[in-house]
Every structure is written in C-alpha cells, then in structure tokens.
C-alpha cells in the first residue's frame, strides 16, 4: 500500500514493492501472479469490504431502510478516511488505468455498491421508495457524497464547523428523505 500510495498505481513497480516489503520480486509473483493481483490484495485487505458486507444489516433481517443507509454510509466513510491517501491515488490515476487495473477496482468496490443497490431494490419492492427512484443512482450519489466528505475532512480539518459524524448523518438524512415513500416509520 505504501508504494501504491506514494507512486500511484500505474507508476508503482513490483521491484519497488518487493524492496519495501523486504521480499524477492519472484515471491510477489508466486503469491499474487502479477501487479493487478497484488493491487487487489492490497485494496481488499485495506478496505475490508468483504468483512463489512458480512456485518451489514438488511431489510430481510428486520433493519429499517435508514439503518441500512446509515451502516453503509458510516462504514464507507470510515474506510475511506482511514485509507484517504490510497483513495486520492485512485482518483488521480483513474484516467491512466488499464483494463486490468480498472477490472480490479470494479471487482473490489462493486460488491459493496451491489449490496446497497440490492437493499434499495428490496425497499422498492416493499413500497418503501417513492415511485421513480433509481436505486443505482442513489447508491452512486451516496458513495460520492461520502467520498467528498472524507476528502474534505482530511484536507480541511481546521475550517469545517461540523464533525464527520454530523456530515455522515446529514448525507443519510438527505438521501433518506429524498427517496422514502412515507410507509416506513421514521427513526428518531
């Protein structure tokens, strides 16, 4: 992660990664096959997406839509803020990534977005969403709001007059009130 964060994804070399890790470059290839495999392992271990998915509340298990949105937003915010240097690199390199790297990023981040999309589709099936709400757009909007918030907290801690918790709560409230049909009991 150190080399990817410092050099960027496209400029990071397996030689430098092996040097920083204190292993032979052949060891990297034996364990990860290629740079894309190594990138996937770094992202998966630092972002803990699989672990977060296993803990996520669901409508099927009695959670409210607001609880689902809140878990998603808080977990995503914390994960992005914790890995903010890597997040900045991903944004900076996104236009330079090849098909392999782009596929790695999709494989890492897509299950997280798919989970919330599925929850929103279930909410729609239950009549909890206003007619015409596109769950996929809502997921992308919330992800973008959370990402911008994490970037802003990291860069301008000294000029923000609200806490990260207040920001995440406001994001959830904005999305929730924009999509809810009124059939779900509001949380206090």
- Per residue in 78-96, pLDDT (tens digit) is 888 887 777 777 777 766 6
Q: Which of 162, 142, 173, 174 is nearest to 76 (CA)?
A: 142
Percentage above 70 pLDDT, the chain: 80
Q: Where is pLDDT greater, at 185 or 84?
A: 84
Question: Phi then psi for 129, rounded to 5 degrees?
Answer: -100, 150
Q: Can you give the pLDDT at residue 33?
A: 84
Residue 52: pLDDT band with limits 50, 70, 90: low
Q: Can you give the pLDDT at residue 41?
A: 78
Close Cβ partners of 112 (under 8 Å, ≥ 6 residues apart): 49, 52, 53, 76
Percentage above 90 pLDDT, the chain: 35
Q: Can you give the pLDDT at residue 127?
A: 93
Q: Which of 149, 132, 142, 148 is nearest to 65 (CA)?
A: 142
Residue pair 80/147 in contact (Cβ under 8 Å)? The answer is yes
Residue pair 59/119 in contact (Cβ under 8 Å)? The answer is yes
- Dump pLDDT digits (tens) for 5-22: 788 777 888 889 889 889
Q: Can you give the pLDDT at residue 139?
A: 95
Measured CA angle at 5 (ends 2, 11), to 5 deg: 105
Close Cβ partners of 165 (under 8 Å, ≥ 6 residues apart): none
**Cβ burial, residue 169 (10 Å; 0-12/13-18/19+):** middle
Q: Which residues of 9-25 are buried (b: 16+ CB within 10 A; e: fewer)?
A: beebebebbbeeeeeee
Q: Can you give the pLDDT at residue 188?
A: 42
Instruction: For each of the domains in the chain, give its residue range(s) and CATH number, in order of start.
Output: 47-179 (1.10.357.10)
pTM across the whole model: 0.74
The answer on pLDDT for 60 being more than 70 is yes
């Amino acid at each position: 992660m150190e080399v990817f964060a410092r050099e960027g994804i496209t400029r990071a070399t397996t030689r430098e990664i092996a040097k920083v890790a204190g292993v032979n470059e052949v060891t990297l290839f034996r364990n990860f096959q290629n740079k894309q495999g190594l990138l996937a392992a770094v992202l998966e271990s630092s972002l803990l997406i699989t672990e977060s998915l296993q803990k996520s509340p669901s409508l099927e298990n009695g959670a409210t839509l607001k609880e689902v949105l809140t878990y998603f937003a808080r977990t995503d915010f914390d994960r992005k803020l914790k890995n903010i240097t890597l997040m900045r690199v991903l944004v900076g390199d996104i236009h330079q990534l090849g098909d392999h790297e782009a596929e790695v990023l999709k494989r890492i981040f897509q299950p997280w977005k798919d989970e919330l999309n599925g929850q929103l589709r279930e909410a729609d099936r239950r009549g909890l969403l206003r007619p015409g709400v596109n769950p996929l757009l809502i997921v992308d909007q919330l992800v973008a709001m959370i990402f911008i918030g994490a970037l802003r907290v990291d860069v301008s801690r000294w000029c923000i007059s609200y806490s990260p918790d207040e920001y995440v709560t406001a994001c959830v409230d904005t999305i929730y009130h924009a999509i809810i049909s009124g059939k779900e009991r509001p949380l206090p």
